[in-house]
Structure 1
Amino acid sequence: MIEVEHLTKRYDGRAAVDDVSFTCAPGSVTGFLGPNGAGKSTTMRMICGLAPPTGGAARVCGVPYRRLANPGREVGVLLDASAQHSGRTGREVLALAAATMGVPRREVDVKLDLVGLGAGAARRRVGAYSLGMRQRLGLAHALLGDPRVLILDEPANGLDPEGIFWMRGLLRDFADRGGAVLLSSHLLREVEAVADQLVVIGGGRVVASGGTDELLADAGTLVRARDGEALRRALAKAGLAATGAAGPAASPGGGLLVPAEPGVVGQAAADAGVALIELRPAGAGGLEHLFLTLTGGTSTKETTA
């Protein structure tokens, strides 16, 4: 339902997004991950027609977003929860959107109830909303037209743990009914819990993509020894490539990430007489470790249009 092909965006000759390609299929939640400045928001803005690409193309429901006759009935978008008229009430925000999209007025109350904004909250002006309430209103707006696709940038910001759990169930139910979700979030454990597939970008380029379980299983082996240099030599002698593990694994003890099974790595160390103090599948650290390994744990300020 979302097709991104070789999408590129340059600002003053610098590539904020560089040849990014991926798809989001019906019935799935795609986690779109990367450090600050990696190009996530810029990519989502291009998908939604808010920023023209320098190269490549993006289609939603088979056509560029700007060619959708009534976008809100096809695609629900939440890119910035604060981008709502602060002087209107929550109900007025949705009522105006419903009139614009040709959605029956009764759906306003249905969606407000769905996201947990009761009658009292709906009568309050948006300027008095907390960030969590704005996120719920933004989700209600995205869902108002009963779209087939959701594009959400950091929708869990400001939600308490109960709200995050609720949102996870909402997105899972949407996908299970045949919808497609593109979800950007810094809450990696929540993404791991709900996403069927992952797209990880760093420095504007895709560094990994595929099924969540597949990527975590293929993360390789984390190995550590007191003598890090001896371990590197042992691995090189066995023909095993190794890189310094990013994030918490990058300890003074010499944590290394090796694209091989733990048994193979352990045998190489044993053959060289290197004593190990850690040997485990890298995927055992979950999505957080995989993310740090792939992106190097770096973040920069993201350029926006």
Structure 2
Amino acid sequence: MIEVAHLTKRYGGRTAVDDVSFTCAPGSVTGFLGPNGAGKSTTMRMLCGLTPPTAGTATVCGVPYRRLANPGREIGVLLDASAQHAGRTGREVLALAAAVMGVPRREVDVKLDLVGLGAAAARRRVGAYSLGMRQRLGLAHALLGDPRVLVLDEPANGLDPEGIFWMRGLLRDFADRGGTVLLSSHLLREVEAVADRLVVIGGGRVVAQGGTEELLADAGTLVRARDGAALGRALAAAGLDATPGPGGGLLVRADPDPVGQAAAAAGVALTELRPAGGGGLEQLFLTLTGGTTTKETTA
């Protein structure tokens, strides 16, 4: 339902997205992960027709977004919950969207109820909404046309724990009924709980993708030594990339055997050497991205 092929975006001499390719199949939730500035938002904007790519293609249901006759009936998009008319009520926002998409007016109340915005909240102006309420309204807008695809950027931002749990169930139900979800979020534990597949991006390039269980089972190795500097030099000499891990250890994108051999060859005594998979998605994320963040830049 979503196919991104060799997508690239350059701004002058800077490459924000570099040859990114992935697919999102019906009946699945795909977690789209990466540190700030990795290119996630730019990729999603290109997918949704807001930013023209320098090279490559992005299609929804086999068609570029801008060629969809009635996009809201095919793909529901939530990229910025704050990008809503502050002077309109929640009901007015959805009623206008329903008129544009040709959706029956009764669906407005159905979707408001679905996202937990009751009659009183629906009568309030959006400018008086909390961030969590704006997220719920944005999700109602995305669902209004009963699309087959959802593209959501940080949809849980501003929600309380109960709201996050509710959203997880809603997205899982959408996918279980055959829908396709592309979900970007910094709440890694929530992504781990709901996503079937993961696409991890760093420095504008895809650094890993595959089934969630598959990637978590191959999360690399956690290694620790009393002389951390010597361990780092030993790993570098063996061509093994290491990033900071929990408790002062190092995360290495390799099996334990070559990591242990590199330490032994350099005479470095280890205090811990084990597969890192037990750390879940957060540890995998740090292993793949190095735990680095940069200032987000989009255009």
Give the alignment's TM-score, normalised by structure 2: 0.93
Instruction: Call closer, same or farther: CA 1:295–1:145 in 2, change over 3 Å.
Output: same
| Among candidates 222, 239, 242, match of residue 240 of structure 2 | 242
What one-letter code is carried by the residue in structure 2 that aligns with 1:223? V
> What does residue range 116-265 of structure 1 map to in structure 2 within 5 Å?
116-228=116-228, 241-248=239-246, 251=248, 255-257=250-252, 259-260=254-255, 262=256
What one-letter code is carried by the residue in structure 2 that aligns with 1:304? T
Q: Quote the Cα distance in structure 2 between the aligned partners of 1:106 and 1:272.
A: 71
Q: Quote the Cα distance in structure 2 between the aligned partners of 1:88 and 1:136.
A: 15
Identity percentage over the alignment? 86
Whether 1:303 and 2:297 are equivalent positions in the alignment is: yes
Q: Quote the Cα distance in structure 1 between the aligned partners of 2:36 and 2:150.
A: 22
Q: Quote the Cα distance in structure 2 between the aligned partners of 1:258 and 1:203.
A: 17
Shift of 1:265: 5.2
Aligned to 1:245, what secondary structure does the other structure show? strand
Q: Quote the Cα distance in structure 1 between the aligned partners of 2:78 and 2:31.
A: 15
Instruction: Call closer, same or farther: CA 1:174–1:203 in 2, change over 3 Å.
Output: same
Shift of 1:241: 4.9
- Root-mean-square deviation (CA, aligned residues, Å) is 2.2
Shift of 1:268: 7.5
Shift of 1:179: 0.5
Q: Which residue of 1 aligns with 2:64?
A: 64
> What does residue range 39-54 of structure 1 map to in structure 2 within 5 Å?
39-54=39-54
Shift of 1:39: 0.7
Q: Quote the Cα distance in structure 1 between the aligned partners of 2:203 and 2:82.
A: 26
What one-letter code is carried by the residue in structure 1 that aligns with 2:136? R
Instruction: Call closer, same or farther: CA 1:258–1:49 in 2, change over 3 Å.
Output: closer
> What does residue range 19-34 of structure 1 map to in structure 2 within 5 Å?
19-34=19-34
Shift of 1:243: 2.5
Q: Is the 8 A contact 1:152 1:184 kept in 2?
A: yes
Instruction: Call closer, same or farther: CA 1:59–1:274 in 2, change over 3 Å.
Output: same
Instruction: Call closer, same or farther: CA 1:107–1:294 in 2, change over 3 Å.
Output: same
Shifted more, 144-153 versus 11-20: the winner is 11-20
Unaligned runs of 5+ in 2: none
Q: Quote the Cα distance in structure 1 between the aligned partners of 2:160 and 2:62.
A: 36
Aligned to 2:19, what secondary structure does the other structure show? strand
Aligned to 1:199, what secondary structure does the other structure show? strand
The total of aligned residue pairs comes to: 299
| CA offsets 1:32-89 (integer angstroms, 9 cap, x no match) | 0111111111100000000100000100011000111111010000000001111110
Instruction: Call closer, same or farther: CA 1:21–1:304 in 2, change over 3 Å.
Output: same
| CA offsets 1:147-176 (integer angstroms, 9 cap, x no match) | 000000000000000000000000000000
Shifted more, 272-281 versus 47-56: the winner is 272-281
Q: Quote the Cα distance in structure 2 between the aligned partners of 1:172 and 1:155.
A: 14
Q: Quote the Cα distance in structure 2 between the aligned partners of 1:112 and 1:223.
A: 50
| Among candidates 280, 283, 288, match of residue 294 of structure 1 | 288
What one-letter code is carried by the residue in structure 2 that aligns with 1:134? R
Q: Which residue of 1 aligns with 2:274?
A: 280
Unaligned runs of 5+ in 1: none
